[in-house]
Structure 1
Amino acid sequence: MIFSRRDALRNVSAGFGYLAFAGISHSAAAKEAVANTNPLAPKAPHFAARAKRVIFLCMQGGPSHVDTFDYKPQLNADHGKRGKYGGQLLKSPFEFRQRGDSGLWISDLFPHVARHADELSLIRSMQCDQPVHPGAMTQMHTGTAQFIRPSLGAWTLYGLGTENDSLPGFVSLSPPSGTSRNYGSSFLPAIYSGTKVGGPAGPATSRFFQGTSSQSVPDIKNPKLSKTDQRKQIDFIQTLNQEKQDRDGVNPGVEGVIESYELAFRMQDTMPELMDTSGESEKTLAMYGIDGGPTDGFGKQCLLARRFVEAGVRFVEVTHGNWDQHVRLTTDHKARAEACDQPIAGLLQDLKQRNLLEDTLVIWGGEFGRTPAAQGPDGRNHNNKGYTTWMAGGGVKGGFSYGATDEHGYEAVENPCHIHDWHATILHLMGLDHERLTYQYAGRDFRLTDVHGTVVEEILA
């Protein structure tokens, strides 16, 4: 039988629509085919997972642990004295109180979050290797500051896949400019990169998340083409991409384009609907502080984070900043906390009442903490030797504190938790063994924790 060139092209191109078709097919055979070919298909964890999904609340700039979650009465008592490494010790301008049945000490900067004290597992002995923002942020996200490596979210998606093939498996809401490596996939296939939604936090962010479905995700639809014509256009482009891939043999960039085109086609219906928050009740909006005030922007991001994980997104990162108060600590830390305290508490409450918190791991933290000694009259410098992060839900103990810094909060002295240990613990809660989750690149097996990392068993419920 002789095929014309047109027949051959039509028959070849028809195959590229099968991923979208298979997503709605009820055929067991079709589902098995997708699982074998779709890199985002759900994968079995290494062992029983305590958490199915992650929401990472990234506090850019380094919030001060001694002013938030690490109570240091001796620092208050020694206010004005010379610090261990020079400078004058600066007491916290914020009162600490014991919260919940557990009695965790939390400052008045976070009164709303403090009401959830019995859900929190505080890690008060965090350490990382970098005292500067770019290096510390990169290490917090990728495990290293020296090289460009896959991010925590990308490793999670690579290890577990996603539960919704019409949405990204990894979303980064309003990441800071110039930080794409923090949600990138590096040498992992490009399909595991995070999908950026929204720009840097601020007034523009609040305008972006307006709850108007068609305008919430710019450029996701082509208004000049019907969906049928757009499918035909993508099929044709995909034949060209596949020809390029076949000629090259191995071309991760082209492979990523092929996979992302298919995902983007499916997203154009699902994503705008998911980001349309107009159907949320007034009670829910009020719970997140979505009222046009200082909590509005971050409240919308936290609400979207809940909607994303509820729809099957595996990993969502929400960025808030800037916490880098070398000066004006009292006023600016208060303003930063005011903007995110109620939204975070609303997120925890919303997840709990929807029975999602028990298998959703919520993480809060910045790239490092700040010094007990003053910088100027009202500021603190960077401190990577001892600081605090916390986790909630997803299989961790509630109302629990792990590790400790010294009496002034300079460095971890009890159960130090390095960033590698932090990563190992997060992966463990997701059912992934950090030593087995590897990817071969440039002749060696790489992993998020490199050759380090120990799971913090003490915080596991």
Structure 2
Amino acid sequence: MFTRRQFLSHVSAASGIVATGSLWTEDDIVPATSVPLHHAGKVKSIIFYYCKGGPSQAHTFDKPRSVKDPALHPFSFSKSGQSGLEISDVFPALQNVADDLCLIRSGYGALATHNEGGIHIFTSASKLGASLGAWMLHGLGSGNRSLPGHVLLTGRAEGDNWALSDGEVLGGARSVGAGGLPPSLQAQVVRDLERPIANLDSRMSPAEQSRWLTELGELNSVFSKRHPHVPDIDARTESFLAAQRMQTAAPEAFDLSKEISNPSIRKRYGLDPQPTRSTGTKLLLARRLVERGVRFVLVPSMEVPNLEGGSGSWDTHTPTQVRGLIPNLATACDQPLAGLITDLKERGLLDQTLVVWGGEMGRGGPGHMNHNGSAFTWWMAGGGVRPGFAYGSTDEQGFTAVENPIHVRDLHATILWMCGLDYRQLNYNGVGLDTTCKVAKDIIG
């Protein structure tokens, strides 16, 4: 029998256990399922496609009623589906699933600077706060204790020579962090789609690992009895056990080989064309993760080539950027998102999975080129949201939310409500959400 110190010295060399255990960095492990809901909610998982830079609502999903300079608005809009939702023609595939979309055209309260706006749009707090994914995981608990419950997917698919970045969330770790909640609720970042989680392979056999972990539990049990004032020992033991479980669960969850050998899946997610390859791969992976109980998957947009020279993100300030970037940015996500919605529906998962599209702010001023926190558009699909519906509206120019304005914090409260979580009852060691939030129940079907 080893002493506890000897055991930890030996097990620290076992790459498949301790390194992966860093996924659970907090002494409080995410609880298992069966966390009681505050009320009936349909959403069990969220897939959020984040448009880095702040997409122009007037060129995508909120056509302004008054346009002074048509040259700055080169894209037409079409009434789509039986619902007749007006959607920009840069999204032909999403036009085909318009009857599944709920357009939120009256968002406001965003911070009109990028990093601060990124933190704010994901935490609804201008100062350090917990991200939406962290709150969801805290409230619902883990849907699969062998996988991280909150995941940020970056990276590019193999063979992608088109995208010019891996994708990132403005605001960095604070945007996807746990704030005042246990750090175990922060997003697990996946940067390499070929080897998504490092250090899963162990030099020990499964039998050896089980023996080591049994002895660790026994040693920690003795230590806990001697030192009852140190409450984190059992949680640390669980983090090792969780890492061991992940050695089996993660490779299977991230293995796309069978999926991508299916021609219909390749077409549905756009896995062959260069512009959609990486986004399609990540959204397909996101679907596999939510199928297996992962709560929140965040997929950020990537920088793309500008048709008129250069490259960039949704941060379009000039006519050249509008004309050259928006078509490519839309192409990158259009077919993959439409394919995701269709796939979830066919698998019976759309009712319990909420798909979200949006950025950290909108656009305003002449030509919709300036940063704008007074109007932005998001859309949602699935999860019990009202389909084929446009909520709220902006003024004639599309610069300010005027009908049914919905603040950033109200969007968070509404999303959490659809998960069965009442923002007024979410609290951890005195950390909670803004109690002035309002749930936009009109968007809930």
- Normalising by the smaller structure, the TM-score range is 0.7 to 0.9
Q: For each residue in 1:11-64, what CA deviation from the matched residue of structure 2 results, as whole angstroms up to 9, or x when unmatched? A: xxxxxxxxx9xxxxxxxxxxxxxxx99723331211111222211111111111
Counterpart of 2:148 in structure 1 is: 168
User: Percent identity over the alignment?
Assistant: 40
Given that residues 54 and 316 in structure 1 are in contact (C-alpha distance below 8 angstroms), is that contact kept between their aligned partners in structure 2?
Answer: yes
Q: CA deviation at 1:96?
A: 0.6
Unaligned runs of 5+ in 1: 11-19, 21-35, 81-89, 199-207
The counterpart of 1:275, out of the listed 244, 251, 254, is 254
Q: CA deviation at 1:179?
A: 1.2
Cα distance change, pair 38–400 in 1 and its aligned pair in 2 (3 A): closer
- Rounded Cα–Cα distance in structure 1 between residues aligned with 2:124 and 2:213: 37
The counterpart of 2:349, out of the listed 351, 356, 364, is 356
Counterpart of 1:432 in structure 2 is: 421
Q: Which structure 2 residues correspond to residues 24-423 of structure 1 after superposition, within 5 A?
A: 39-75=31-67, 78-79=68-69, 91-146=72-127, 148-174=128-154, 176=168, 179-198=172-191, 208-210=192-194, 215-222=195-202, 224-233=203-212, 249=229, 258-280=237-259, 281-321=262-302, 322-327=313-318, 328-374=321-367, 380-423=369-412
Cα distance change, pair 248–285 in 1 and its aligned pair in 2 (3 A): farther
- Look up the SS of the partner of 2:257 in the other structure: coil
Given that residues 29 and 184 in structure 2 are in contact (C-alpha distance below 8 angstroms), is that contact kept between their aligned partners in structure 1?
Answer: no
Cα distance change, pair 425–37 in 1 and its aligned pair in 2 (3 A): closer
- Rounded Cα–Cα distance in structure 2 between residues aligned with 1:102 and 1:7: 65
The counterpart of 1:451, out of the listed 423, 430, 435, is 435
- Rounded Cα–Cα distance in structure 2 between residues aligned with 1:246 and 1:383: 58
Given that residues 372 and 409 in structure 1 are in contact (C-alpha distance below 8 angstroms), is that contact kept between their aligned partners in structure 2?
Answer: no
Given that residues 30 and 138 in structure 2 are in contact (C-alpha distance below 8 angstroms), is that contact kept between their aligned partners in structure 1?
Answer: no
Counterpart of 1:201 in structure 2 is: none
Unaligned runs of 5+ in 2: 8-16, 18-27, 155-166, 303-312
Q: CA deviation at 1:251?
A: 7.7
Q: For each residue in 1:172-197, what CA deviation from the matched residue of structure 2 results, as whole angstroms up to 9, or x when unmatched? A: 11162771222221221232222111
- Look up the SS of the partner of 1:435 in the other structure: helix
Cα distance change, pair 235–136 in 1 and its aligned pair in 2 (3 A): farther
Q: TM-score, normalised by structure 2?
A: 0.82
Q: For each residue in 1:189-245, what CA deviation from the matched residue of structure 2 results, as whole angstroms up to 9, or x when unmatched? A: 2322221112xxxxxxxxx435xxxx44332222x2222333445566778888599
Given that residues 216 and 276 in structure 1 are in contact (C-alpha distance below 8 angstroms), is that contact kept between their aligned partners in structure 2?
Answer: no
- Rounded Cα–Cα distance in structure 2 between residues aligned with 1:246 and 1:114: 64
- Rounded Cα–Cα distance in structure 2 between residues aligned with 1:403 and 1:352: 26
Give the number of aligned pairs: 399
- Look up the SS of the partner of 1:55 in the other structure: strand
Q: CA deviation at 1:248?
A: 9.4
- Look up the SS of the partner of 1:295 in the other structure: helix
* Alignment-mate amino acid for residue 276 of structure 2: T
Cα distance change, pair 311–246 in 1 and its aligned pair in 2 (3 A): farther
- Rounded Cα–Cα distance in structure 2 between residues aligned with 1:255 and 1:124: 48
Given that residues 65 and 398 in structure 2 are in contact (C-alpha distance below 8 angstroms), is that contact kept between their aligned partners in structure 1?
Answer: no
Q: CA deviation at 1:160?
A: 0.8
Higher deviation after alignment, 327-336 or 188-197: 188-197
- Rounded Cα–Cα distance in structure 1 between residues aligned with 2:413 and 2:3: 53
- Look up the SS of the partner of 1:300 in the other structure: helix
Q: For each residue in 1:230-285, what CA deviation from the matched residue of structure 2 results, as whole angstroms up to 9, or x when unmatched? A: 34455667788885998694687x88755443322211111111111111122112
How much is the aligned-residue C-alpha RMSD, in angstroms?
A: 3.0
Q: TM-score, normalised by structure 1?
A: 0.79
- Rounded Cα–Cα distance in structure 2 between residues aligned with 1:367 and 1:230: 44
- Look up the SS of the partner of 2:105 in the other structure: strand
